[in-house]
Amino acid sequence: MTDANPPVRRLGDWNPEPLRDIADEHGTPTYVIDLDRVEANAARLRAAFAGADIAYAVKANTSRAVLERLAAAGVDAECAAAGEVKRALDAGFPAERVRYTAVNPPARDLNYVLGTDAAADLTVTVGAEDTLNRVAERGFDGRLCVRVNPGVGAGHHEKVSTGAEPKFGVPYERAAAVCEQARGVGNLVGIHAHVGSGVSGDDLAAHRAMVDRMGELAREVGDLSFVAVGGGFGVPYRETESPLDLDAVARSTRDALGDVNARLAIEPGRYFVADAGVLLTTVNTVKPTPETTVVGIDAGMTTLARPALYDAYHAVRSLEPDRPEKKPTRVELAGPVCETADVLGRDRRLPAPTRGDLLAVGNAGAYGYEMASNYNSRPRPAVVAVADGDARLATRRETLADVTRLES
């Protein structure tokens, strides 16, 4: 690994000056996404998984700027919904490089995806016999992939452990039979499973077990172009955590897959974008209490849902030039949403924050803006894309008028 493309970019590695300029120009809360880092992450995946099909699970960040950059970089797109397929095609992913992984697809989604001109070239992944039938009823006879429930799950939180959850995939015991049925409908090109999200450390054993089962199934089913083993590669959210050894993960994945006459396919989301993004937020209220100092910030669970939803940890740092010299204070970082869950971090040490201070939240490029909402009638933040040192507005901040614009 060369220093030019380190395995992780920590919050402390971001140069504060351009971030302060972005906040001055666009206000806060604002997501910043560094497209060069996204591409560097793609390069690292490609080097580790040489010869494999590499797709980006677009759900992690569907910003047009990100999709365009990754389409140009030659990776494939894995899409979970009609809207994601539309965005991937609009951003320039050729249809033959787009996989639609339908999870209980609403009729509207199927009608859209299978009705597009691109349908003949897409790969449609089905996770239930009933879904296969619904695809067949719509006259689809193109490339098909069968999603399998491998019976083994993992992930950074129980809410993102997928592999053993009955919702996802055809039960393993039925998988070979459903593959045969798929051959009667269209062109069966692959099998697919995904163990869960945020896989690291001990979870790698579960990932390996899943891949092992997929290898077994691939040998039974035979005649496949690819075996997709999902995404889920974790990133270090805590500053003290080590990054994944991607080469070791790739080696262990190939070992577990064993001898199959099909390409390995992976589809990480988070790994491409997490450390390429930060969230900028401003301190609006400081309140000393007997328990802690509550630092009120303008980014809440409507801006970044992960702490409220998964108790996820995101590093936070002050971007004020004189702060490093100040004494750290124990603080709770609280958002502006009237709900107890709206706390971005508890028991954090920050250099005595004062009103107006600019803070940066790390690893915000994945599932950040993507999961933002309008709860509390709060407008969604802006997104600024950075490339080659230049910053440009990628998504404008919503206004109060935007929040009500769909009402009749």
The yes or no reply on residue 131 touching ligand LLP (CB under 6 A) is no
Q: How many CA atoms lie within 13 A of 387 on its CB side?
A: 11
**108 CB-near residues (< 8 Å, 6+ apart):** 82
Distance, CA of 216 to CA of 141 (rounded, Å)? 26
The minimum distance between CB 230 and ligand LLP, in angstroms, equals 5
Residue closer to ligand LLP, measured from CB, 23 or 214: 214
The minimum distance between CB 265 and ligand LLP, in angstroms, equals 11
Number of residues lying near ligand LLP (CB under 6 A): 21
Distance, CA of 232 to CA of 382 (rounded, Å)? 27
> How many C-beta neighbours within 10 Å does residue 10 have?
16
Distance, CA of 214 to CA of 192 (rounded, Å)? 8
Closest by CA position to 171, among listed 152, 189, 144: 152
Q: What pairing do the DSSP bridges indicate for beta strands 390-395 and 277-288?
A: unpaired
The yes or no reply on residue 306 touching ligand LLP (CB under 6 A) is yes
By CB under 6 A, name the one of 233, 237, 313, 369 that touches ligand LLP.
233
The minimum distance between CB 282 and ligand LLP, in angstroms, equals 23
The minimum distance between CB 305 and ligand LLP, in angstroms, equals 8
The yes or no reply on residue 150 touching ligand LLP (CB under 6 A) is no
Cα end-to-end span (Å), the chain: 56
Residue closer to ligand LLP, measured from CB, 203 or 332: 203
The yes or no reply on residue 243 touching ligand LLP (CB under 6 A) is no
The yes or no reply on residue 99 touching ligand LLP (CB under 6 A) is no
By CB under 6 A, name the one of 109, 267, 298, 357 that touches ligand LLP.
267
Distance, CA of 301 to CA of 316 (rounded, Å)? 15
The minimum distance between CB 139 and ligand LLP, in angstroms, equals 25
Residue 145 a catalytic site member = no
Q: What size, in residues, is the chain?
A: 408
Which residues are part of the catalytic machinery?
338
User: Using CB under 6 A as the criterion, which residues of the chain lie in contact with ligand LLP when the complex forms?
Assistant: 57, 60, 78, 101, 160, 162, 194, 197-198, 230-233, 267-271, 306, 310, 367
